[in-house]
Structure 1
């Protein structure tokens, strides 16, 4: 399969999966990114509680990446993905508002991932409508 012939839906799918995998694996499980620690520690947990909160969040992000990869044709999965992405931006706004105006921030990242999710959702609707008997 040529990369140039890969559909926008598959590019969207792979980009979303990559984002969840990268954030879960590299920023939480393999090593804890300083900003992850900063945000999570503002929840008021103990140091050990913060550590485990981040590790569990990382594991859940990796699981979600696998789930999204497998079930991207399910519109409930797409909707949950959008809700999760928007909820994470809202959480950052509540916990560490100043991060929303940094050079690399969850607003631009998550907004892009929401748009990619909508591309898949729209394609799913087209596929469902074309499968219906007329």
Structure 2
């Protein structure tokens, strides 16, 4: 089934890129979520620096989500997405492991996005092989 339906790339593209945009905008720019403050605060930064880091991360996540949306056929960008999601999950493991057992935690968010990204990456590779 994979490889003969461009819809898989589109579905993964929308879900993953919009997740980055959503998580960059709402909990980091629109209203800084308490968990975001906890994560940056646990790194030892002052409240002002934590706020700046959180908001900068929000802008970066929105830009990354837009890049994923626009340049969705670039396998290196999708691979970077997978590595970033793994890195963010590991950051939570190291900095705030108690968050891993909360509702709607990074495990239940990142692992499905990573899985979709692997499907997306496989589809990109299959499509590229068809054009060789």
TM-score, length-normalised on structure 1? 0.92
- Asked whether the equivalents of residues 24 and 61 of structure 2 are also in contact (C-alpha less than 8 Å), the reply is yes
Q: How many corresponding residue pairs?
A: 128
- Can you give the 5+ residue segments of structure 1 that lack an aligned partner in the other structure? none
Residue in 2 aligned with 1:18?
18
Residue in 2 aligned with 1:7?
7
Residue in 1 aligned with 2:80?
80
2:13 & 2:40 partners in 1: Cα distance?
28
2:32 & 2:108 partners in 1: Cα distance?
21
Residue in 2 aligned with 1:45?
45
Residue in 2 aligned with 1:109?
109
2:130 & 2:68 partners in 1: Cα distance?
23
Cα shift at 1:6: 8.1
TM-score, length-normalised on structure 2? 0.93
2:68 & 2:30 partners in 1: Cα distance?
21
1:36 & 1:96 partners in 2: Cα distance?
11
Residue in 2 aligned with 1:96?
96
2:91 & 2:17 partners in 1: Cα distance?
21
Distance 1:122 1:6, change over 3 A: closer
1:72 & 1:95 partners in 2: Cα distance?
31
1:127 & 1:105 partners in 2: Cα distance?
34
1:8 & 1:73 partners in 2: Cα distance?
12
